[in-house]
Amino acid sequence: MNVLLQTFRACWAWPLTCGLLVAWLGNLAPASAQSPVPPPAVLPDFHADPHIAVFGDTFYLYPTTDGFEGWSSSSFSCWSSKDLRQWKKEGVILDFPRDLTWAKTRAWAPAIAAKNGKYYFYFSAEQNIGVAVADRPTGPFKDPLGKPLVSKSLFPKMQAIDPMVFVDDDGSAYLYWGQGRCKVVKLHDDMISFNPADVRDITPPGYNEGSFVLKRKGVYYLMWSQYDTRDPRYCVNYATSDSPLGPFTNAANNPILSQSGAVKGAGHHSVVQIPGRDEWVIAYHRFRIPDGDGYHRETCLSPMRFDAEGRIQKVNVFEPVAPLNVGGDKLPGLRKLMDTPLRDTSICRGPDGMWYMTGTVAPFWSYNEGIKLWKSPDLTNWTAMGFVWKYGESPWHKPYLEKKKPLWAPEIHYLKGTFWLTYSLPGWDGTAKTSGAGLLKSTTGKPEGPYQDVQPNERMGDEIDASLFEDDDGTVYFLWHSGKIARMKPDMTGLAEPYRWLKTTVPDPNPRHHSNLCPGIFGRDSFDHVGYEGMFMLKVNGRYYLCCAEHFDSRYSCAVATATNIYGPYSARYEALPHAGHNTFFKDDRGQWWSTYFGSDAKAPWQERPGVFPIEFDPTGRMQPKRP
């Protein structure tokens, strides 16, 4: 790109001399030793202006190939991913010298849209906008016009670059483009033509380039980049409208994506919605870290969220996107909550609207002190609360503390106006016979406690993996291990009855459906248990779901049996949630049931990290992972 063209590209945003001076000074600013570390780029080498899209179960990225002075690349490549984490290069999908007759270089800022069973690839080429068509998202793409779709001569007071096509719910498609000004026009049904008389100018204040449009809950969001791409201040703003043609009203909280710490020049973005969820991901470029600039940029992904009023929240450029669909066909919708080691994940909702999480902390198999909590407003961003209780003060703990035994499988519950924590201690003599479980009550009603041991002088349960269940009439039950249950006293100071051991009415003698620990627990010829550990209970539509962990063909899974009476009889068990053994359940504000996850077998999507996934119940009441 020659100097005149570079100056033309920059002057719409701000005076060139001032801009380059600020960019130079921004690059000189020293990074703080306390600055967070941004996640790595999702693509190797230099790529900019990424357009992200999803077709079927696959995500695609279409970027500008960067790393050339003057942005002189001459082809486009495509990348694909099933989980937004691992990206595969699909190869060159459009090569200007080979595929175009009217342009040879300056291949910039592509976009893609699907309609009529075809894929339409829009791109900038020598300050014109072209379109190519293919039968697949990965091409090969062919030029159906033999000329630009939008010629730079049509609108001489702006650059005809940065196309984006939005397809509305009724199938209508709209082309947005422009640097310096933002234009929009409704495309004809063929997706490769329009009426020039219908072109509108919808330029919002602060607009420079890189327009993108999405629709959520009936609101149209026009997004764009402000400043020049070589400026560290390069950022993303947005405005809203009730029409794809505007007028658009600028948001009060702009910019929503901008530089921070080591991240400079964050902009020229696109957004994709995760199918079936109100979850969004923003793709954008930043200066290469380290030593990048406006010609050496890299592609990044971050979560993008909306608040309750529909405003786009500030994007955290240090937050990576969690991998998606890693559960495959067995656990669709599974997502990791954080990368902190944790087993036996438990989550509950507090009266303050926050979500609270606990579980077995590392080291899992030796002394780990006690119980930690995390909290989150949205089941996505988690803040550590640290230890809220350490075992050892209750008299019955003494032999466990002397042997430096770990604390296992804490669960958090909010019942009767306060928080409760169940906990387990494995046998101090190395056998299950001396294992025990207890119950803690928050004396303040707060999740951070302090907590007191409800029964400090003796264990409440004679095995591990304790839980609580509150029935519709307010009666609370203490549960543990593999199906043991006892009603609690009304004040929850202890058990009101001897425990019962819940069994199934139909045994499962298949040896591939049992842990090798089962003969020692139940007897060699006993097959009427739901599982061998990790008991939890929920009630849905008048039916009790007794859930335990069990091995099915080496999968550490959640097994389920059901009954219409809490004490049974319980139905034949089945493998309800593969790889999700020792889980708990909760329901969100929309009535959606969720299961927790941590992963304990070698074939699990991941091991010993907390996750969640949605579940559903079929017409017969059978529990299963929710399908997209």
The pLDDT tens digits of the residues spanning 338-383 come to 879 999 999 999 999 999 999 999 999 999 999 999 999 888 778 8
| Residue indicated by tokens 């899209």 | 53
Q: Among this protein's residues, is 49 annotated catalytic? A: yes
Q: Among this protein's residues, is 209 annotated catalytic? A: yes
User: 526 and 494, same structural domain?
Assistant: no
User: 83 and 9, same structural domain?
Assistant: yes
Residue 593: give the domain boundaries. 332-339+504-628
* Residue-level pLDDT at 326: 61
Contact by Cβ (8 Å): 517, 464: no
Q: Locate 488 and state its tokens.
A: 């609690």
Among the listed residues 162, 209, 344, 528, the single catalytic one is 209
Do the domain assignments include residue 17?
yes
Instruction: Decide if pLDDT at 307 tops 70.
Output: yes
User: 383 and 276, same structural domain?
Assistant: no
Do the domain assignments include residue 321?
no
Do the domain assignments include residue 349?
yes
- Whole-number Å distance between alpha carbons of 72 and 348: 54
Contact by Cβ (8 Å): 308, 600: no
Instruction: Decide if pLDDT at 523 tops 70.
Output: yes
Do the domain assignments include residue 314?
no
Last residue in a domain, options 433, 468, 501 = 501
pLDDT, greater one: 25 or 420: 420
* Residue-level pLDDT at 414: 98
Last residue in a domain, options 451, 482, 501 = 501
Do the domain assignments include residue 325?
no
Do the domain assignments include residue 310?
no
Can you give the three-state secondary structure of 455-521, one letter per residue? CCCCCCECCCCEEEEECCCCCEEEEECCCEEEEECCCCCCECCCCEECCECCCCCCHHHCCCCHHHH
| Phi, psi at 522, each rounded to 5° | -110, -15
User: 509 and 495, same structural domain?
Assistant: no
- Whole-number Å distance between alpha carbons of 371 and 73: 55
* Residue-level pLDDT at 310: 96
User: 442 and 346, same structural domain?
Assistant: yes
Give the strands of the sheet with 533-540, arranged side by side: 533-540, 543-552, 555-563, 574-577
Contact by Cβ (8 Å): 116, 188: no
Do the domain assignments include residue 320?
no
User: 511 and 455, same structural domain?
Assistant: no
User: 461 and 523, same structural domain?
Assistant: no
Nearest to 612 by CA among 588, 352, 623: 588
- Whole-number Å distance between alpha carbons of 611 and 331: 11
Do the domain assignments include residue 327?
no
pLDDT tens for each residue of 30-63:
444 457 899 999 999 999 999 999 987 789 999 9
Phi-psi region of 553 (alpha: psi -120 to 50; beta: other; left: phi over 0): left
- Whole-number Å distance between alpha carbons of 259 and 488: 55
Number of domains into which the chain is organized: 3
pLDDT tens for each residue of 578-591:
999 999 999 998 89
* Residue-level pLDDT at 306: 96
| Residue indicated by tokens 């999803």 | 54
| Phi, psi at 230, each rounded to 5° | -90, -5
SS3 state at 17: helix
pLDDT tens for each residue of 493-504:
999 999 999 999
User: 265 and 254, same structural domain?
Assistant: yes
Lowest mean pLDDT, pick from 6-20, 281-295, 461-475, 514-528:
6-20
Burial 3-28 (b: 16+ CB within 10 A, else e): eeebebbbebbbebeebbebbeeeee
Residues 6+ apart with CB under 8 A from 44: none
- Domain containing residue 108: CATH number: 2.115.10.20
- Report the percent of the chain where pLDDT is more than 90: 82
pLDDT-based confidence at residue 2 (cuts at 50, 70, 90): very low
User: 535 and 494, same structural domain?
Assistant: no
pLDDT-based confidence at residue 69 (cuts at 50, 70, 90): confident
- pLDDT average, residue stretch 195-208: 97
User: 166 and 36, same structural domain?
Assistant: yes
User: 395 and 484, same structural domain?
Assistant: yes
User: 146 and 11, same structural domain?
Assistant: yes
DSSP string, 168-226: -TTS-EEEEE-BSS-EEEEPPTTSS---GGG-EE-PPTT--EEEEEEEETTEEEEEEEE
